């Protein structure tokens, strides 16, 4: 097995039976199943969803995205070995924990392979909510420049970089472009306040004003659940992104669920507890890779300045990163996944062939 062969870089070309276009994001690809296959699987596998619920196969990749670009390494390494399986394992672990603790379900109904989820279609809440327990990253950069109000929350004077905050802060932003909402810019990923959400709850896809309170409860309790679990491993849960949506249960009743991913090294910052107590920040997340990129290139402004996106894309396209950096990130993902789940993450020799065999032989989704 070559290292490059063990990496699943292209995940939108699987011969899964579908009658809709494959949706491919930075990391995951989504294959919507035909109505007949969705119904068949729900019945055969006894999934706890409505008989006519639309299902999709969600396939993760090992691609590495940072600063809105996909990066590659020397030796034709088009991703990070073990990254996809590690991300799926971590997110699945937290979603399962949330359900066991009585918080809410997730969109996952089955896990056929370490790279694959079967999910039910959800109506997304049009908010990406960041929960923050420490002041760092973009919030610190804005605070250091004198900003004190974040999404309607006022921070006091005198905070230090990487300091723990008195309470977990929720700083929501738009998911997609929402038009015609007073006080909300028509742009993706712009910060909003709770008042913005209350005033326009239907535009954000909330079923009722009461669900805004439920969403905040699920955010804070979900964050605290992960934070406590990581603390037991002497890891600090710094911040994370949550996404939510609505699905119908077996009886057709609408319910708010967790979706996308949560608590992963891609969507969160996780710091080593012992190092933090010693005054050092050691990242057990993708943030360390971002810092590597900022130090690796002569002109870091290309990575930070949105007006230089063409240059940034060229930088990612034309520069194979050192193998040492790619493998250091692989080790970060594998180590934190194994800490969190208590299970070893095994690298697949040929992940694409494995996925095809399982979806053909056990799910009859490949002709």
**Mean pLDDT score, 45-64:** 96
Confidence of residue 1 (pLDDT cuts 50, 70, 90): low
85 domain-assigned? yes
Number of structural domains (the chain) is 1
56 domain-assigned? yes
pLDDT, tens digit (0-9, with 9 covering 90-100), for 294-333: 999 999 999 999 899 999 999 999 999 999 999 999 999 9
307 domain-assigned? no
**Mean pLDDT score, 76-81:** 95
Look at residue 2 and tell me whether its pLDDT is greater than 80: no
31 domain-assigned? yes
Look at residue 348 and tell me whether its pLDDT is greater than 90: no
**Mean pLDDT score, 62-83:** 96
Element (H, E) at 229: helix 210-231
**Mean pLDDT score, 101-128:** 97
115 domain-assigned? yes
**Mean pLDDT score, 61-86:** 96
Confidence (pLDDT) at 157: 96
Look at residue 6 and tell me whether its pLDDT is greater than 90: no
**Mean pLDDT score, 117-131:** 96
Q: Which domain holds residue 25?
A: 4-122+344-361
**Mean pLDDT over all residues of the chain?**
95
| Cα 154 from Cα 188, distance rounded (Å) | 23
| Cα 90 from Cα 294, distance rounded (Å) | 27
Share of the chain above pLDDT 90, in %: 89
Q: How far is CA 203 from the centre of its chain?
A: 23
291 domain-assigned? no
Coil, strand or helix: which one is 284?
coil
Question: pTM surpassing 0.85?
Answer: yes
Confidence of residue 46 (pLDDT cuts 50, 70, 90): very high
Q: How far is CA 292 from the centre of its chain?
A: 21
225 domain-assigned? no
Q: Edge-to-edge strand order for the sheet containing 55-60?
A: 23-24, 28-32, 55-60, 116-120, 108-113
**Mean pLDDT score, 250-257:** 92
Would the CA dihedral through 190, 191, 194, 196 be positive or negative? negative
Confidence (pLDDT) at 285: 93
336 domain-assigned? no
Task: Give the CATH number for residue 105.
Answer: 3.30.200.20
**Mean pLDDT score, 130-146:** 94
Look at residue 88 and tell me whether its pLDDT is greater than 80: yes
Look at residue 188 and tell me whether its pLDDT is greater than 90: no
99-135 burial: b if 16+ Cβ within 10 Å, else e:
eeeebbbbbbbeebbbbbbbbbbbebbbbbbbbbbbb
| Cα 339 from Cα 284, distance rounded (Å) | 11
Q: How far are the Cα atoms of 21, 193, 286, 291, 322 from residue 66, in angstroms, in the given order?
A: 26, 27, 8, 10, 16
| Cα 247 from Cα 254, distance rounded (Å) | 6
Look at residue 271 and tell me whether its pLDDT is greater than 70: yes
**Mean pLDDT score, 247-259:** 93
Q: Which region among 181-185, 207-211, 354-358 has the lowest average model confidence (pLDDT)?
A: 181-185
């Amino acid at each position: 097995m070559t290292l490059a062969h063990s990496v699943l870089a292209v995940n939108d070309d699987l011969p899964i039976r579908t009658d809709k276009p494959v949706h491919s994001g930075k990391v995951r690809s989504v294959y919507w199943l035909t109505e007949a296959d969705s119904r068949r699987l729900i019945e055969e596998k006894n999934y706890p969803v409505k008989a006519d619920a639309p299902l999709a196969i969600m396939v993760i990749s090992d691609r590495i995205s940072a600063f809105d670009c996909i990066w590659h390494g020397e030796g034709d390494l088009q991703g990070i070995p073990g990254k996809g399986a590690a991300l799926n394992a971590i997110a699945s672990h937290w979603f399962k924990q949330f359900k066991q603790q009585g918080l809410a379900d997730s969109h996952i109904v089955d896990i056929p392979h370490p790279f694959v989820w079967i999910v039910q279609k959800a109506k997304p809440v049009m908010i990406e909510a960041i929960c923050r327990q420490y002041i760092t990253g973009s919030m610190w950069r804005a605070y250091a420049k004198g900003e004190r109000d974040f999404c309607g929350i006022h921070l006091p004077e005198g905070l230090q970089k990487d300091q723990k905050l008195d309470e977990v802060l929720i700083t929501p932003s738009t998911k997609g472009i929402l038009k015609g909402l007073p006080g909300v810019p028509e742009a993706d990923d712009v910060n909003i306040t709770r008042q913005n959400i209350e005033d326009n709850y239907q535009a954000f896809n909330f079923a009722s004003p009461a669900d805004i309170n439920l969403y905040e409860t699920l955010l804070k309790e979900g964050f605290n659940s992960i934070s406590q679990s990581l603390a037991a491993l002497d890891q600090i849960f710094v911040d994370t992104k949550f996404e939510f949506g609505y699905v119908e249960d077996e009886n057709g009743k609408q319910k708010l669920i967790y979706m996308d991913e949560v608590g992963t090294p891609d969507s969160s910052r996780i710091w080593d507890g012992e190092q933090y107590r010693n005054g050092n920040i050691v990242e057990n997340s993708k943030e360390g890779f971002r810092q590597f990129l900022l130090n690796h290139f002569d002109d870091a402004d290309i990575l930070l300045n949105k007006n230089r996106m063409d240059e940034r894309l060229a930088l990612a396209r034309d520069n194979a990163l050192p193998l040492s950096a790619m493998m250091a990130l692989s080790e970060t993902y594998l180590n934190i996944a194994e800490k969190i789940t208590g299970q070893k993450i095994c690298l697949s020799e040929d992940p694409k062939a494995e996925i095809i065999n399982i979806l053909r032989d056990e799910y009859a989704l490949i002709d």
